[in-house]
Structures are given as C-alpha cells and as structure tokens.
Structure 1
Amino acid sequence: MRALALTAALTLAIASAAPPTAAATPLAAALEQTVAGLNGLPTDAAALPPPTTRNGHDILARFRDGLADARCDAGATDARWQQQFSRAPSRLADEDEDVLPLFGYVVDELRAANLPTEFALIPFVESGYRPAARNSSGPAGLWQFIPGTARNHDVPLENGYDGRLSAVDSTRAAVRYLKTLHGMFGGDWRLAIMAYNAGEYRVLQSMRRAGMNAQNAQPDKLPGLSSVTYAYVEKLHALACVLEQAQTRDEWMASLDRDVPILQAQTLPAGMALDEWARRQALQGNQLARLNPALGNGRSTKRALPVLAPRSLGGPVLAQDTTPPAQDDTPVVATVASADDTPAPNRAKRAGARSRHTHTVRDGDTAWNIAKRYGITVQALLMKNGLSARSVLRPGMVLSYED
C-alpha cells in the first residue's frame, strides 16, 4: 500500500509540474525509475520467501500455547521426576546441541495436527531428544519405537535405512498414532499418553472394569495398569513444570533469545549422498548427519528418502511438508514470545520515590521483552500486574510498572 501511495503521489507531482527544463529532465527520469521499481515490489506477505530462522522464544511460545493443561501443579508432581528432567532447560539452551530446533519441529507437527503440545515432551522422556538413541532391548530413535511397532505404524525398515532413526518418519508415525489415541479417548491427553505407553486395549479394559468412559475417566484411578504407565503422565507434567519454572530465570530466557534454524522435511534424491546434497543446498554437512542418522551409509537408497534439514532460501521441494506458517494467530505467552533488542532507557529516579508507568501490550510483546525494554525484572512486572509465568498477554492489555 505504501508503494501504491508513493506511486500515485509521484505521478501526480510529475503530471502537474510545469514543462521540465533540461536540468529537471534527469530528475524526472530518476523519479520514474524509482516509481517503476516500487511497483515491482511484492505487496503481499505471501510473495515473500519464508523465514529460515525464528527466535527461540517463538518456539517456546508455540509450545506453551498448545498445552492442554496450562497449569503447573508442582506440588502434585513427584519431585524425583522434576529432578530427573532438571537438565531439559539447559539442553534447550545449548547452542551446540540440536535439541531446540528439533523441539520446534515436533511442536510444529503437533500443532499442525491440532494435538496438545504435552506430546512434544515425549522424546525428552524416551530418548533425551537424540535421533540416534538406541536401547539395548530394541527401541530406537527420538520416539524409541521397537521394530514391530514401527512396522505397524508404517515406519520403513530396510537395508541402508532405519526409519525409526528418521526424525521425519518417526515423528509422522508418532503424530498419526497420538491423533488416533487422542480421538479414541475423548481428547484427554492423559488417557492418550497412558494408551501410548501401555497400549489402547489395556487402557480400554481398565476403564471398563472401573465402569468409566472417556468422558468421566480419572486416569490416576484406573485399575490394573503398571506403575510405569501411571508415572508416564507424571513425567510429562513434571517436564512442563520444569520448563515453566525455567522461564522465570532471566539468564535462561536470554539464552533462548537467538536465531534458531527452522527444520522441515525435505527430499534426498535416490542414490545421492547426504554430504553432496548438503553442499548443493549450502547446508552444514555435520548438522545434517546428526539430524539424519537413519541413513546407514550416509546416502539415500534406491528410492528418494525424507530428510530433516534447515529451511533454506530457494531450497528444494519439501517432502510432504506440514510445517505451519511462521506467522499465525498464536496468543503471545507472558514470558516466551519474541524478544527484541530495544535497550532499556535511562531514567532519573527521584530520591525516595518510584515513578509509575503503564505499557499497552502490542502484537509480539512478551513479559520478557517488556521488562527488558524498561529495565525491570520479569518477576517484578508479573507481580505488579497479578500475573504468573503462564499468563497470556493479549494486545490492548495495559500493564503497570515502576522504575
């Protein structure tokens, strides 16, 4: 619209001007060239290339907004699980690991399937978010599928390719299965995750014995299931609490305030080596090898295979990509959306007095970047406005703060 307005203004100015002198002619020609260039600019956001990175806070915002159970009741969670998963925040913050971009990929796949993002915590429990993880008893990959389960859910296992170690194939299979369970158990993520662990038929039998159905079932009161199955729900809830508590620490939030590559499924042509494909796409071969351990000899088989790779400008056609657009209507969570780099202004403080101010929330605002902008702590901002780390900031809200 700005380009159109400027075009109209310049055209009117040129048309209404007196006949150009020799000196004015070059200026008029330059203006016409500028107008032509502006007319060539894309005016639709859809015409712009998709972003290749996003801020780490945006990943956490999408996770938080997708939770089915937004409240963290730390007192109701066994402290041993919180202790067991206490390193999850530091692993997300570690730039030398691929955990945060992988976490973002799984969150995107779950959000695209309209599933609760509690399920994005399963790979923390199963594999520590390591695509190459193997267990001596047989399970492998992010989601730790055994061979039989993998085949039942259409994960390919063939010479030179173990689809359980493919973040693409295994995540798609897990999302399909979780989608089935989530619908089967009335949208209760806790029942779905118990069925994911123990099998749907065991959970259905337990519900029948207890005279319960999907609408009134109490997951912690279902009889006859193993302690491992009951604990699975507690583990995911403990992980959610650990991440919530980490978001009150400014140092941890600052560690996520960085550009993170957006991962997506892409196609490795039949017979092509992964490192050769990486060179063609100007991507880092070492990172691609870490993300794609399913390729036994580092190359595709006789057929094209999906690989997980950072999105690149003008990159290859996606392999059934289901990644949602980066811009959406996700509500902005208090401490986990995009931070900006606006320096906190210097303010003169009156001796013995504190100045009170207000801030009207705009799109993209978070408690983190608001606090950073005004030189206060996140905790002080939240307490001043009666908010918690899980509060959602919506455009138009007026927040008070003191300097």
Structure 2
Amino acid sequence: MIWIPPYKGWAAPLSSSAVVPSVVQFAGMRLKLTRGARKRMQAKVNQLIQAKKFFNQVVERTHLFFPIIEKILAKEGIPDDFKFLALHESMLVGDVVSSTNDVGFWQIHPVTALDLKLPIGYPVDERMHLLQSTKAAARLLKGHYAYFNSWLGAMLAYNRGRAGVVKLGIKQYYTAKVVWLDHTTDHYIIAVLATKLAFEKVAGKQKHPLWQLHIYDQGHHGHKLQDLAAYFNIERKLLSEHNKWLKAAVVPYHTKCALVVPISHTHLLRHAAFTPPKQRIDLKKVVSPLALPQQATACTSINYDPRSSNIFPTIVPCHELRNPRFIKANGKLAIIAQKGDTVATLAQLANLTVNRFLTVNDINKTDQPVPGMVYYYSEKGNKGGAHYHVVEIGESVWHVAQRYGIKLKMLLEKNRMREPEFLKVGQIVWLRFIRPRTIPIAYK
C-alpha cells in the first residue's frame, strides 16, 4: 500500500458527498456500519480528500487508468468496485515499491507473483504492467472468492492471505449479502471502502487532460523503445514512464506484455486507427501496394497465416539447472542476453568455448550480444515450429533464425538465398520447407 502524506494545512469542511453513510454498497453487498465503523472510515476519508493537490493528482490518474482496469475486471468477472482496491494499494503509481517489497499497480509480492506465474526479473517485471498485473490480480481474487464465496472475504484475503482470513474467524462474511461492520472490523476493509467513498464520484469520470492510453499488442517485439517512441511521435521518456515493466532498451520477443502508449487527444483525432509497424517499410512511412515488388501480388493460392509465429520463441524455465538465467527456448537450452553481457561471459555460463558458442548462434567474434535476444547453447534445428514468418521492423535473416531456433544456413536454403539478404517488412519467410521455384517471394 502506498503511503499517503498527512495534510498539514487548513482543513476545508467536508462536503456532503464526503460524509460516510450508514450503509455502503460494495461488489453487490450491503455493508451496514455501526457508529464505531463510520468514525474509523470517516477519518480515513478525511485523510484522502484533505490534501487537495495529492487528491487531484490521483483523480487524474484514474481518468487515465480506470477505463482499462474496468474493461479487464469486467472481462474477468470481477466486480467493478475492485478497481478501488488497486487505487488503495498503489494510488495507480505503476512502479511503487512498498516496505514489504510489494510492487506495482496491485502491489504484488514476489512470492505471490511466482504463484501467479508473473515474470518479475530482468528484462520484464509484469507487476508494473497495467494489463498483466490487473489480469493476475483478477485471477487471485477469483480464487479467493471461490474459496470463501464472498467478495468481502476475497478482498481481505488479498491482503492477509486465505490462512489469515480463516484465522480471523469471520464466518459471517461467507455467502452473506448483508454484513455489519463495527469498530473491530479489519483495517484493510475500512481503508479500501474509504478509498471508494473518497473517490467514486469523480474517479475515471472524465478524459485525462492530456492523454489517452493506446494498447499496442503487435509489432513491438524486438524493437528499441526509442524507435517505437519515434514511430508514435512521442518522447522516449514519456513512453518509458508508462512502460516501467520493461527493464531493457529492447522489447524482448518472449514477453506477453503489450506496449502502453500515451497518445494526445489531438493526435488520436488525426490517427483514429494505427497500423502495426510490421506492416510498414520504416517507422514513419506506411507500406503501400505500389511500394511492393510486382510479384508480391502473384502468389494468392497459399494462405500465409502468421498468427502461429506470435508464440515464438517458446520460453520455459530450465529447472534442471541451478542458474536461474538458463531457459529452454523452442525446446533447446538457451539464455536471454542482458545489458553488459559479452560473448565470452555467455559462453562461460554454459562452460562452452567461445568458438563453439559463436558457431551455434551463427555470429562472429566482433558481434555484441543484443539485450533481449535468445542465444542457444545447443545446436539449432533444421526447420521451425511454424510454416511461415512475417518479417517485422528491424528483423534480419539472423533475427528470424534465432527466434525460431533454426540454423542460419538452413533458413537461407529454405528461402533460396545464397547469403543473408535484406528483408522487407511484411515479407514471408519460409521456415519448414523450401520455397518452390514456381512460387515468388510474397508479402503480407
């Protein structure tokens, strides 16, 4: 939970909208408050609303983040009121870290993140990702609700864990639609309900004065954040602020995280629909049919379905080895390069000679490891796990070979290349079979 600074100035009289009522609605439940419960809740509401500058800053964040959180909660079957739980936990500061090492919008602990299968190391910490953390919190809340048959019990378990709720012995919450809260009610319930009462009439009710968030879920993998910022015509710093989940300069191929892009309202009016970068020749110039070679339209009999390529490389932890950096990419022992890695250090980790490491990965001694890229420790295969790949921005033949774990010479052979050639964005690369001579190079 984020710390709220105490208000040291003059306290304005509370408006009627800030007075705690005797009955509070939450997640379809009627929560009746005794005098003691109302007094405790009122003190918390006062603390939230009296620091006017802080209050207004939080409200602005709700205008930006609540629309996305609300959609995810609705899709996951979580009552809309739980958006105020996220507000209470972090005040919607995506990279906040608590004294107990809870992180992100929903303040998820490292142990809980492991249970939820959320990556939290380098180069990605999904606890700081608006979408991934909200989906994970929804899974956790649904599990607690299934156990207690109570959204109030689920809320409390989010903070105390199931064992902690059971220990409290509050069976009156289970299955109940009407619950009395009194002076002994757990402080976490009081705090979350106070957050709702303080903010609900203004939170998320207007457009953010500057930005609207655009969720960009394709075409960003393997690209530098600064290039993506140039593509969207925004400052790199602004893009970084909304993507604190990314710890590297390059978006890794294996991450499921979408890019969260703040776009000004005037820019949205000019660009109502965005075209994925993989359909562009460069970052600022859209591919038109006239820009493609004539033979691109000649091949219409084959259905080049690129959807399966989105899952590559397939990344799973390598539990057989003690080093947590080792993974299995496309079923082969591998590692994801980090900033500062060298060919020598990567080779040494797996007790390989430098020459062997260079050979396996089809690179030279002068090549520097690319942060976020997969590097293999065992020989790559002769074909890919998908039939075709659609070239994205910045991809070379070598990038495609690493992504699918294919030997570079085999990938060249399948695409009738004698040596690595420049790939155009949208070009179809064959991965499993050799492209017949009668079928020209095609573009998606």
TM-score by length of 1: 0.50
**Higher helix fraction (1 or 2):** 1
Equivalent residue in structure 1 for 2:155, among 177, 193, 196: 193
The structure 2 residue matched to 1:236, chosen from 188, 192, 196, is: 192
Would you say the 8 A contact 1:111–1:117 is kept in 2?
yes
Whole-Å separation in 2 of the counterparts to 1:183 and 1:66: 18
Paired residues of 2:95 and 2:128 also in contact (CA < 8 A): yes
The aligned amino acid for 1:151 is L
Task: Determine helix, strand or coil for the equivalent of 1:261.
Answer: strand
AA of the residue aligned to 1:274: L
Match of 1:142 among 105, 116, 119: 105
Give the Å deviation of 1:189.
Answer: 2.2
Q: Does 1:303 align with 2:254?
A: yes
| Contact map agreement 1:191 1:219 (CA 8 A) in 2 | no
Residues 166-225 of structure 1 deviation map (CA, whole Å, 9 limit, x = unaligned) = 222211111111122223322x32111001111113323544xx6657224987679xxx
Partner of 1:215: 175
Query: How has the CA–CA distance of structure 1 residues 221 and 278 changed in structure 2, closer, same or farther, with 3 Å as cutoff?
Result: same
The alignment status of 1:273 with 2:233, answered yes or no, reads no
Higher RCO (Cα < 8 Å, 6 or more apart): 1
- Check whether the contact 2:32–2:179 (CA below 8 A) recurs between aligned residues: no
Contact 2:32-2:180 within 8 A present in 1 as well:
no
Following superposition, the deviation at residue 127 of structure 1 comes to 1.5
8 Å contact kept, 2:101–2:110: yes
Match of 2:131 among 140, 150, 168: 168
Give the Cα–Cα distance (whole angstroms) in 1 for the partners of residues 71 and 148 of structure 2: 23
Cα pair 1:271 1:303 within 8 Å, conserved: no
Q: Which residue of 1 aligns with 2:115?
A: 152
**Does the 8 Å contact 1:140/1:146 carry over to 2?**
yes
Written as runs of structure 1 = structure 2, the 5 A alignment for 1:228-377 is 230-244=186-200, 261-264=212-215, 266-267=217-218, 269-283=220-234, 285-306=236-257, 307-310=259-262, 313-316=273-276
Q: How many aligned residue pairs are there?
A: 241
| Cα shift at 1:100 | 2.0
- Once the two structures are superposed, the pairs formed by residues 380-395 of structure 1 within 5 Å of their partners are none
Classify the secondary structure of the residue corresponding to 1:199: helix
State the alpha-carbon separation in 2 of the partners of residues 125 and 212 from structure 1: 24
Report if the CA contact (8 A) 1:181-1:192 is conserved. yes
For 2:261 and 2:94, locate their aligned partners in 1 and report how far apart those are by CA, in whole Å: 13
Please state whether the residue corresponding to 2:237 is helix, strand or coil: helix
Aligned CA distance change for structure 1 residues 91 and 230 (closer, same or farther; 3 Å): same
Distance 2:31 2:174 in 1: 22
**Closer, same or farther in 2 for the Cα pair 1:134/1:205, shift >3 Å?**
closer
Task: Specify the alignment match of 2:57 in structure 1.
Answer: 91
What's the counterpart of residue 44 of structure 2?
A: 81
The one-letter amino acid of 1:297's match is A
Q: Distance in 1 between matches of 2:158 and 2:71?
A: 20
CA 1:263–1:195 in 2, change beyond 3 Å: closer, same or farther?
farther
Deviations 1:83-133 (A, max 9, x none): 232257512544xxx442112211221122221122111222222211111
CA contact (8 A) 2:69 2:131 kept: no
- Unpaired runs of 5+ in structure 1? 1-64, 321-403
Report the Cα distance in structure 2 between the residues aligned to 1:136 and 1:81, rounded to whole angstroms: 21
Distance in 2 between residues matched to 1:116 and 1:179, nearest whole Å: 10
Instruction: Provide the C-alpha distance between the structure 2 equivalents of 1:158 and 1:257, rounded to a whole number of angstroms.
Output: 31
Relative to 1, partners in 2 of residues 1:147 and 1:74: Cα closer, same or farther, differing over 3 Å?
same
